[in-house]
Structure 1
Amino acid sequence: MKTLKKSLRGLTFSLEKDTVEIGSHFNYYINTTSRDIIISPDKNGKGTVSRKKCGKTYKPLYDIRSKEVRELCQAADYMQVEVLENKIVVHTFKKQRHIIQRNHIVSIEELVGRKTGEIVICKAAGAEWDFGRPTLANDEYFESLCRTVPSYYKKSIKQKKNEIKAIYNVASLFSGAGLLDYSFMDPQFKFVYAVDFDPDACDTYRENIGDHIVCQDIRTVDSETIPNTDLIIGGPCCQGYSNANRRDIDKETAAKKRLLIDDYIRIVKDKKPKVFVIENVPQFYTKEHGLYINKVLENLSEYEITCNTVTDCSVGGYTSRKRAIVIGSRIGKIELPDAKFATVKTVHDALKDVDATWFNYADVSAPRKETEAAMSYVKPGGNWKDIPPEIHPFGADTHSDRFRRLSWNEVAPTIVNWRKICMMPPEGNRILNVSEAAALMGLDKKFKILGKTLNSKQQQIGNGVTQAIGKFIKKYVLDALNYNTQNIVSV
């Protein structure tokens, strides 16, 4: 056992060479109650095992200097590193500051020091044993918890296990910028895989959700490269079905996009998750006389499948956007209830806090002079019909969302690529900026949309699902998974 001196800089220690691989990655989780830091192998982890030169060779070096680790190390008088088969435990001790009187029987802790906490480091990425995040089946986690958390001593193993919720692996297909995945982020969901072909969308995904996304055409994805998963979610390209794309709907490119549902089905059949979720436009049910929904029903017949249409503003969102939601389950039918919020949220509710401090606030297309002049005629809640024909002529079949000006006290229409239709905020002769559109989709200030072009950023938002719809689906899927494992149902 190796003893370390108190350190004000954090935790730094080396191991014998070949103990772990130099350059491998890890992540750590902090339990503020037990004062433990559990570091798990993770090929995408932020921590990296560095190296320390010893003569002509190098030893693996752990150097962790986060604020929380520094505080734990500063509170200790010394530390001891215990290298076990499956993990490294750094015990922290504080010496006692009292005088031992004659004839007084003392404990080892009084002579040596009082244990103040543990830092648990698991084997680096690439090792066969993965301590990972706690699950109901991980008995070693509970044994460790019993040793390190005093309040757990008197509880039965059954009680302890019931206090920890199960962790479900999630794979995301057609992930885009991650709007559906963002709504599914939860301590019980661990995203292990995501894929999309758009490099800009993948950059946005990595910025807000994680590095597990792969930038690749899904038609070339080998199912064997996807980790085993409890849940698969995704929205196969909707442009091949949507009425908003009516000019191109019958072209060959649209037909190819509709066939991407075959790859979603292929991967679900190969991975056999407990549950899968498909979100798309409502026309997914009816296009070509139901050809595509029937593919799902026929090819995934081992699942109990339910189909619902969910409206954003009916489940707490700010828009009238409707999505077709298909849920397949091998753990019992999952049905989404008909829902309608008593108080409908408005454009004002979505935009009241959006200001220049939002990351994408300055991302806005400047209108041409003639377009700006046309915008000036449109009243809140109005559209192209408010514009005199001599200013900007439109045909009778023009979509009602063209030159649509939002109204503060109404629900917003569906947010597509608003630049193409000139969707305007309630005030000002300009189109929505990217932050305003993101807020209408239910995204928060923390979400950052990246991209090489402004059009790319706008399209990423227009392609996504609203947060209210995503969270609505997540609740009932998570409840079903928890019920299946006889775990604590989410609230």
Structure 2
Amino acid sequence: MTTGPTMIDLFAGCGGMTRGFVAEGFIPVQAVEWDLAAAATYAANFGEDHMFWGDIAEWPTSSIPEVDLVIGGPPCQGFSNLGSKDVNDPRNKLWKEYLRVVAAARPKVFVLENVQRFMKSSEFQLLLDEADHGVISDYSLTYGVLLAADYGVAQRRPRAIVIGSRVGEIPLPAPTHAKVGTGGLRQWETVRSRIEGMIERPGTTDLPQSRTEFFGQVLPGVFKSSALHFGRQPRELSLARYDHVPPGGGRFDVPDDLLPRCWRDKKSGTTDVMGRMRWDAPSLTIRTEFFKPEKGQYLHPQWELDPARRLNRVITHHEAARLQDFPDDFLWCGTKIEIAKQIGNAVPVGLAAAIARHLEPYLRAGLR
């Protein structure tokens, strides 16, 4: 029986990266995630038996299996533009646990992903030092920033990607899409391609009353993706603000008398706040609080001159999941806020699949 390459997913979250690799024939044999709701979502989709729920530092080296591939994205809050940018943030050190696993699992290839700022951090320089004369000195490294939209995802989301290989140097995958599709490249996917035709006005604001058990713990779930298509109940003031924002617009389209003082006094920056998506362009980055319009460009793209044809609401969790390329048969566990965090923290499934397709022939050659 032919089987695909085996892999470990570290800091796996809900399994967005795993889902992309599984779609390309990879076989997950181990995953690690400390957040219960995210680990439960992973388990609901890929199995509980190979998920280590807990602190990666407590995963014994003796329990780490040898595999063909290690993937994962150590938490990035200390590097993120939205985080503290604290070089001493303890979460920045978790990439060292990633390397501990690589040293024990001895994969042919590893893929480390992170936020764009990781490339300019002192931690990234230490990673390069480890490749020069440390625990991964027998790996060739290739690294850069990939834009998810360039690989068929309907989202302009940049991610730092490091590929380590001991089966010969592996370049970063070449883009398959571009803003203007020329020279053999397809045009960027759009918000329309992911969420057009979904119910415009969801009939509920709640998840179903359902409970499940994973790892001996009871939590909300398991929910089908369709259950994530719920709305919110914004105040009249909020609805009035939304009504002034056209596609591609933001807080500067809202009249001063409707703005909070903090926005009235800030005449520049944060241009995507209270923003509305465009139907025929990719979305901006789907973050963990996409359900709050004050956090970014998360208003539904439908807005016409006829006020009756405007959808003055944020995107739903299901729409956000589609923009992250999660398939509709994906299952979810957790509260509304926990699921939003899982969606926003995930590597877009389509980007993960593109990386997997690119790596597969190199791994296949290395496994001969």
- Pair 373,187 (structure 1): closer, same or farther in 2 beyond 3 Å: closer
CA shift, 1:269, in A, is: 1.3
Structure with bigger helix share is 2
Q: Deviations over 1:44-72 (max 9, x none)?
A: xxxxxxxxxxxxxxxxxxxxxxxxxxxxx
SS at match of 2:52: strand
CA shift, 1:405, in A, is: 0.7
**Does the 8 A contact of 1:285 with 1:292 survive in 2?**
no
Structure of greater Rg: 1
Deviates further, 320-329 or 179-188: 179-188
1:426 pairs, out of 292, 301, 305, with 301
SS at match of 2:156: coil
Equivalent position of 1:214 in the other structure: 52
SS at match of 1:181: helix
**Does the 8 A contact of 2:111 with 2:164 survive in 1?**
yes
If the length of structure 1 is used for normalisation, what is the TM-score?
Answer: 0.61
SS at match of 1:259: helix
SS at match of 1:285: helix
2:237 counterpart of 1:403: no
Structure 2 counterparts to residues 281-296 of structure 1, below 5 A: 281-288=115-122, 290-294=124-128, 296=130
Structure 2 counterparts to residues 247-262 of structure 1, below 5 A: 248-250=84-86, 255-262=89-96
- Pair 295,286 (structure 1): closer, same or farther in 2 beyond 3 Å: same
SS at match of 2:170: coil
2:200 counterpart of 1:344: no
Equivalent position of 1:189 in the other structure: 26
- Pair 185,439 (structure 1): closer, same or farther in 2 beyond 3 Å: same
**Does the 8 A contact of 1:201 with 1:460 survive in 2?**
yes
Structure 2 counterparts to residues 39-78 of structure 1, below 5 A: none
Equivalent position of 1:129 in the other structure: none
Equivalent position of 2:213 in the other structure: none
- Pair 353,238 (structure 1): closer, same or farther in 2 beyond 3 Å: farther
Amino acid at match of 1:301: S
**Does the 8 A contact of 2:118 with 2:160 survive in 1?**
yes
SS at match of 2:258: coil
**Does the 8 A contact of 1:284 with 1:292 survive in 2?**
no
SS at match of 1:419: coil
2: distance between equivalents of 1:265 and 1:275? 12
CA shift, 1:188, in A, is: 3.9
**Does the 8 A contact of 1:319 with 1:413 survive in 2?**
yes
Q: Deviations over 1:165-212 (max 9, x none)?
A: x43221110000000000000474221110101100011111222222
**Does the 8 A contact of 1:180 with 1:464 survive in 2?**
yes
2: distance between equivalents of 1:292 and 1:400? 35
- Pair 268,365 (structure 1): closer, same or farther in 2 beyond 3 Å: farther
Q: Deviations over 1:98-133 (max 9, x none)?
A: xxxxxxxxxxxxxxxxxxxxxxxxxxxxxxxxxxxx
CA shift, 1:353, in A, is: 4.6
SS at match of 1:260: helix
1:480 pairs, out of 358, 362, 368, with 362
**Does the 8 A contact of 1:284 with 1:293 survive in 2?**
no
Equivalent position of 1:361 in the other structure: 228
CA shift, 1:295, in A, is: 5.0
SS at match of 1:180: helix
- Pair 448,238 (structure 1): closer, same or farther in 2 beyond 3 Å: same
Equivalent position of 1:458 in the other structure: 340
What is the aligned length?
A: 318
**Does the 8 A contact of 1:360 with 1:449 survive in 2?**
no
Q: Deviations over 1:337-369 (max 9, x none)?
A: 431422221110111254479423334443233
If the length of structure 2 is used for normalisation, what is the TM-score?
Answer: 0.80
2:248 pairs, out of 381, 390, 409, with 381
Q: Structure 1 vs Structure 2: percent identity of aligned residues?
A: 31
- Pair 368,234 (structure 1): closer, same or farther in 2 beyond 3 Å: same
Q: Deviations over 1:267-326 (max 9, x none)?
A: 111221111111111111102484354355343221011102211111111011011111
SS at match of 1:244: coil
Higher relative contact order (CA 8 A, sep 6+): 2
- Pair 169,251 (structure 1): closer, same or farther in 2 beyond 3 Å: closer
2: distance between equivalents of 1:208 and 1:256? 30
CA shift, 1:433, in A, is: 0.7
1: distance between equivalents of 2:230 and 2:127? 37
2:17 pairs, out of 160, 164, 180, with 180
SS at match of 1:193: strand
Equivalent position of 1:324 in the other structure: 160
- Pair 456,365 (structure 1): closer, same or farther in 2 beyond 3 Å: farther
2:73 pairs, out of 232, 235, 246, with 235
1: distance between equivalents of 2:14 and 2:357? 21
Amino acid at match of 1:229: V
Amino acid at match of 2:174: D
Q: Deviations over 1:418-456 (max 9, x none)?
A: 1341521113222111100011111111112221x2111
1: distance between equivalents of 2:61 and 2:197? 43
CA shift, 1:392, in A, is: 1.6
Amino acid at match of 1:235: G
Equivalent position of 1:111 in the other structure: none
Amino acid at match of 1:380: P
2:82 pairs, out of 226, 234, 244, with 244
**Does the 8 A contact of 1:265 with 1:296 survive in 2?**
no
Amino acid at match of 1:430: R
1: distance between equivalents of 2:142 and 2:347? 19
- Pair 348,261 (structure 1): closer, same or farther in 2 beyond 3 Å: same
